[in-house]
Every structure is written in structure tokens, then in C-alpha cells.
A and B are shown apart, each in its own frame.
Chain A
Amino acid sequence: MPSDVIRVDSVSKTYKVGETDVHALCDVALSIAKGQFVAIMGPSGSGKSTFMNLLGCLDRPDKGTILLDGTDVTHLERDERATIRNQKIGFVFQNFSLLARAPVLENVELPLVYAGVPTAERRERSLDALTRVGLGHKAANHITQLSGGEQQRVAIARSLVNRPPIMLADEPTGNLDTKTSFEIMAILQRLNHDGISVVLVTHEPDIASFAMRTVLFRDGRIVRDEANSAPRSAEAELAKLGSEPAPAGIAA
């Protein structure tokens, strides 16, 4: 099915910890359609991190196949996977994972640097991505001068600068307060609305309720997979929080 941006078929992954085998994933299958916003939940050790590593082409499965945006990435070599990560995936991490020593703009540029985009175009596209997350005015700042929420927005700008079809967000609100979390979710929802498929790992049902679909992992298997008939709108929640409107610069 060409409309599936992610297609995972009977994937297994086993780690050796000392003498014992740990079955991190057992025969997992999952398809995510283009433009979906999927929340992945599950307790720690349920296999969701392993699953995200496989989706992110950071690792390879022992069995099964993985197709990302129509490309079979199951057996790719190290450097080929680096290219897939660069072209097809935007990562957002819980701890932001920015280069603290580099200015904001340079952090956003990073995927374009490795994509071999010329300097002028790199600059333009990075500024554009920063503007989309409402931080166009902070391009010259240093990472350390930004708040946690701003840092996560820089990370989001970095993840979308190379226009990937998929965004993988691993507990992006885990280190943020409620209001800032909602701001981040609002950005993700808006980007999703603009066309990017989002896979979000979270252990907070509150955050998962912003997604269209929730997939629950337990003991290396998918135990529940259900559509969310009425996903919450982060914009609306922010409005309900009331006291302050959404941060300036976030265009609807």
C-alpha cells in the first residue's frame, strides 16, 4: 500500500544480556498511513524504545521487514542508514539533544550539512524552519540562552529542516511543564496538519490524547491499537489554560 509511510512486518529483535536472551520485540507488525499522528505507549521494557530505534534506522531487526516511505530499510548498511535518517526521519528527543556549543541556526542546519546542501540554501531553509516553530528571531542565540521549551522547538526545527516524511518524537514533553508541553504538542499537531507523519512515544495518557491513534506495547508485543475518534487540540487546551495565549510567532 503506497499510502503507508511506515510499514513494519513481523519484526523481531533479541538482545543478549550476558547469557540470557532478551526478546525486546516479538513478531511486531504495524502500518502507519501518511499523515497520521500515532502515540506509542507502554511501560519501560515493553519494547517501545527498541521499536523506535528500528523505525529510526538506528538499528536493524533480526527478523521481518521495515519499509519507510516505500524504501526497504531492513538490511541497509551503516552509512546507508545514516542517509535514510537524514532524508526520511526527523528526530525529537526528550533531552532535546542539541549541540550546546553551537548557535541555534547551526543546530538547525546540521541535517542539511550532512545532506550536502550549499551554505546559502542551508541558511535560508534553517531560518524558514525556525520561523515555523516561532524562533526566527533567536537564530543567532546560543542554545544555553534558551528555555527548555525553546530548546525543544529548536530540536523540532532541526527535525523538519530536511523535509522528512516522518517525525519520530521520543517523549518530547518529558522534561517540560504542562503549558510548555501543550505548546510543543500544538506545534507537532500543526506540522502534522501540514503533512508530516508523527510517531510520538509517551507514557502520559494526557499527551497521547492529542494523537489520532494509540498503540500500546507490552512485553515486546503490540497489545492494543486503537483509533482516537476525537483527538484533543493542543491550541484549544492552551486557550483553556487561558492566562496567556500561545507564544508569539507561532502562525496558525
Chain B
Amino acid sequence: MIDFGMTFRIAVRALRVHKLRSLLTMLGIIIGVGAVVAMVSVGQGATAQIKERIASLGANVIMVFPGSFTAGAARGGAGTQQTLTLEDADAIEQNCPDVSAVAPIVRRGVQVVYRDQNWFTQVNGTTPDYLEVRSWDIAEGEMFTADDVDGGTKVCVLGQTLVDNLFPDEDPIGAIVRINNAPFTVVGVLSVKGSDQDDIILIPVITALRRMTGRTAINQIMVSAISQKAADAAQTEITDLLRIRHNIRNGEDDDFSVRNVADVASAVQASSRVLTLLLASIASVSLLVGGIGIMNIMLVSVTERTREIGIRMAVGAKSRDVLLQFLVEAVLTSIFGGIIGILFGLGVSQLIGLIAKWNTPVVPGAIVLAFGFSAMVGIFFGYYPARRAANLDPIEALRYE
């Protein structure tokens, strides 16, 4: 039996003789393996990112939006109708047993001015419960109180982005900022949440209704269920309560919508899983095509080297020696391709991570899998050409020109 080191050396030499050809043969495997590694990495990064975002929304959050506005056949999006009121929010808090906190929200884009600095941001008129619903903390100072809400006082709590932009080297607590030209006293600063959710100002909801919108309708109610398990029950309680309050008869559509963050999260995750699977299957098609490319070139190589095979057989090479030699060559091609593909895939995933600004973790499992798969492709598609070489008639092979 021929020793393995020798077989390996022969194969490497054969690949090096036709460098460009070998590289092109590997290309299919490079792309296939690269795609698998990159997709798994990006997919994992995306899922982690989604999880993080959803978690940052708050624990067991249920969101209530006004219904969509309908005029003839034209329908607006969620929230285009003005059906939710502060009273709805109070009613939910008082009547739904599976609800632990309720935060009505009124949103407006506003220009905030402090001395010679200004910043465009989103003001959220809400209640102190907002912090509990969104699992958010005060970093400095304190949250405005229920009294501030009832009295409609002009106080505000700043997100970290506003502090960075308006108060680069000053303590913001106690400062007066102008929101749409009205003076507001800064009472607190929110902790950092990231993904620029920090570009926000909180003010009492009554103040927002009086100063900003002049209406009684609110944009959204955020509700926190007492536990994750209770989220579905809370959702039902809210729906039933609001249907009664809004006088909606049986058979009629809701004029609001209730969304459970957990549902949204699992839907998003399921769809990202499907997407990853889809991309992985495309990648495996590429691996398959790469394998066929290897088979094709190995067949050419066997034909070209018929004489060499004849010589080897004449001096005593057995069928399995020849078989092994060509098989090793095919597997080396696919493994080299696999290694380059892994590096390529890692590079691509890091690049995507850099552009998309999220983490694309290196997934060892995917690398091992891709490597093993490429070796298997080599064995599978290299076997037939190798078999053909091993079965050559030595007399014919020696005579071949």
C-alpha cells in the first residue's frame, strides 16, 4: 500500500501544475462554503439583534394602537384613526387583572433648543409608568411624578442622545430647554439604551396633549403584562374592554389593534429562520455545482494523465493506489476550496456586520459543517473519476498518446 504522504505530495503537485484551473475548479466550493458561513453568521447576528431590540422594548409588552382610518376603498395604516384616549388607558389599568403597568403615549417630532444648541427629536407625552413598561431606568435626577401629569407641568426627562448634543459639558438637571418655544425644566436623564432609542424626550402626557396636539386622542398605549405567560390573557382582557368602551357590536371590526411583543418577536424570528434556511439551501446548490465542477475537471485530468496512470500501473500500482491518488486530489481541491471559502465567508460576514452595525458572530459549528461538507463533496464527486482511473487497462494506458 502506497503511503499517504506520497499520495498527498503527488496530488499537491498535480494541482500546482494547473494553478488557474485548480482555482477555477475550487471557485464553486469557495462560493458555496463562503455563502454558508456568511449566511449563518449574518443570520445569527440578525436574530441576536432582533432579540436585543425586542428585549429593549420592555418586558411582556403589549401595544395598543388606534385602528386604521378608512375612507371609501382607501385605508390608512395603523394609528390613522383617533380612537384611543387617556380614559381608555385608565380603564385598562383599573379593569384588567393581568396588567401590571400602563403607559399612554402621545408622540410628536419637535425642535428642542438649549442656549445656542438645538436638536430635532421625538417627544413622548406619557406617565411615570412608562419606565416600568419599557424596563428603563433614570440615570440622573428623577422621573416626573403623577402630580406633574395631572397638573400638566412643564418638566421633561432627556434621553442620553439629547444630553450629548445639547449639554456636551454641562449638568442638564435643572436646566431650562425650549420645546416648540415653551420652556421646560429638565428633571431627569434616562439611562443609555442604545440603537438610538436614546433620541427621545419624555414629558407628562397631559402637558403634551395641551401644548402639542390640542386634542384628547393619544397615539399608543403600552401595557405591561404581569408575566410572560399572562401576556395572552392580558391581550384578550384589553381587547374585550376596549370593544365595550368603544361600543363595538359583535361582528364588527375593532377600531384599534392590540399587539403582543412576544408574538411579534417569534414571528420575526421564525421568518429570519426561514430566510437563513433558504439562503443555506441556495448555498448548498452552489456546493453541488462546485462538486460537479470538480468531477468534470477530474475526468479531464484522468484522461490527460492516462499515460502516467499506465506507467504507475506498470511498475506495480494497484487499483486502489490509483483510486486513492485521484480521490485525494479531488478531496484536496474541495478542502482547499472549503478553507478559502471559510475565510471568504468570515470576511463577508464581518463586512456585512460593519455596514449593518451589528455583531456577526463566528459560528464554529457552521465552519466545521461547511468544511466537512466540502470534504464530502470532494469524496462524492471525486469517486467516479478516480474509479475510472483505477479501472484503466494498463496496456491501453501505456499506449495512450
Whether chains A and B associate is yes
Question: Taking beta carbons and an 8 Å cutoff, which residues of A are in contact with B?
Answer: 53, 56, 58-59, 78-79, 82-83, 85-87, 91, 93, 97-99, 101-102, 110-111, 113-116, 119, 158, 162
Query: Are B13 and A101 within 8 A (Cβ)?
Result: yes
Q: How distant is A93 from chain B, measured CB to nearest CB, in Å?
A: 7
Given contacts A99-B311, A110-B312, A116-B3, contact A59 B395 (CB under 8 A): yes
Interface centre among A82, A93, A97 (most CB of B within 10 A): A82
Inter-chain contact B307/A97, CB cutoff 8 Å: yes
In the complex, what residue of chain B is closest to A82 when comparing beta carbons?
B318
Q: State the CA gap A89–B248 with chains docked (Å).
A: 101
In the complex, B316 has a CB within 8 A of chain A? yes
Chain B residues lying within 8 Å of A93, measured Cβ to Cβ, are 398
Q: In the complex, which residues of chain A have a beta carbon less than 8 angstroms from the beta carbon of B1?
A: 116
The CA-CA distance from A56 to B308 in the complex, in Å, is: 17
The answer to the question of B293 belonging to the interface, with a C-beta cut-off of 8 Å to chain A, is: no
- Cross-chain contact B316 with A111 (CB below 8 angstroms): yes
Known: A59-B395, A85-B313, A114-B317. 6 other contacts (CB 8 A): A58-B395, A58-B398, A85-B315, A101-B14, A110-B312, A111-B315
- With known contacts A56-B314, A85-B314, A113–B2 Cβ distance under 8 A: yes
With CB as the reference atom, state the residue of chain B lying closest to A168: B314
**Which listed residue, B6, B311, B316, B394, touches A115 by the CB 8 Å rule?**
B316
In the complex, which residue of chain A has the Cβ closest to the Cβ of B320? A79
* Cα–Cα distance between A173 and B5 once the two chains are bound (Å): 35
Which of B310, B318, B320 has its CB near the most chain A CB atoms (within 10 A)? B318
A-B contacts, 13 listed (Cβ < 8 Å): A53-B395, A58-B394, A58-B395, A82-B318, A85-B314, A85-B316, A91-B315, A97-B307, A99-B308, A101-B13, A114-B312, A114-B315, A116-B3
Which A residues touch B6, using CB under 8 A?
113
Q: Which of B308, B316, B319 contacts A86 (CB 8 A)?
A: B316
Which A residues are CB-close (under 8 A) to B318? 78-79, 82-83, 114
In the docked arrangement, what's the CA distance between A115 and B8, Å?
Answer: 17
With A113-B3, A116-B2 as contacts: A98 and B395 at CB distance below 8 Å: no
Residues of B in contact with A (beta carbons under 8 Å apart): 1-3, 5-6, 13-14, 17, 307-308, 310-321, 394-395, 398
State the Cβ distance, A77 to closest chain B Cβ, in Å. Answer: 10
CB pair A82 B313 closer than 8 Å: yes
Q: Give, as a whole number of angstroms, the nearest-CB distance from B148 to chain A.
A: 87
Beyond A53-B395, A59-B395, A113-B6, whether A91 also contacts B314 by CB under 8 A is: yes
Asked if A102 meets B316 with Cβ closer than 8 Å, knowing A58-B395, A114-B2, the reply is no
Give Cα A162–Cα B314 distance, bound, in whole angstroms: 13
Q: Which residues of B contact A101 (CB under 8 A)?
A: 13-14, 17
Chain B proximity of A115: nearest CB distance (Å):
6
Q: From residue A125, how far is it (CB to closest CB) to chain B in Å?
A: 14
- Distance A85 CA – B312 CA, assembled complex (angstroms): 11
Which B residues are in CB contact (< 8 Å) with A99?
A: 308, 311
* Nearest B residue (CB) for A86: B316
Q: Which 5 residue pairs across A and B have the least CB separation, nearest first? A: A86-B316, A114-B316, A111-B315, A79-B318, A82-B318
A82 and B316 contact, CB distance less than 8 A = yes
What is the bound-complex CA distance between A119 and B3, given in angstroms?
9
B105 CB to closest chain A CB, in angstroms? 76
Contacts of B14 in A (CB 8 A): 101
Query: Which residues of B have CB within 8 Å of A102?
Result: 13
Distance of A195 Cα from B23 Cα, bound (Å): 50
B17/A58 in contact, CB under 8 A:
no
Q: Is the CB of B314 within 8 A of A97?
A: yes
Given contacts A58-B314, A99-B308, A101-B13, are A79 and B319 in contact (CB under 8 A)? yes
Chain B contacts for A113, CB-based, 8 A: 2-3, 6
Residues of A within 8 A of B315 (CB): 85-86, 91, 110-111, 114, 158
Kindly list chain B residues whose C-beta atoms are within 8 Å of the C-beta of A111.
315-316
CA distance A110 to B5 in the complex (A): 14
Q: Which of B13, B310, B319 interacts with A78 by CB under 8 Å?
A: B319
Q: Which residues of A contact B320 (CB under 8 A)?
A: 79
CB contacts (< 8 Å) of A87 on chain B: these are 316
Residues of the B chain whose Cβ atoms lie less than 8 Å from the Cβ of A98: 311
Closest to B390 in A: A78
In angstroms, Cα B318 to Cα A63, docked, is 25
For B395, give the chain A residue with the smallest CB separation. A58
**CB-CB < 8 A to B395: which residues of A?**
53, 58-59
Least CB distance from B381 to A in Å reads 24
The CA of A86 and the CA of B317, in the complex, are separated in Å by: 8
CB neighbours (8 Å) of A83 from chain B are: 316, 318
B174–chain A nearest beta-carbon distance, Å: 84
Q: How far is the CA of A138 from the CA of B217 in the complex (A)?
A: 97
Rounded to whole Å, the gap between the CB of B321 and the closest CB of chain A is: 6
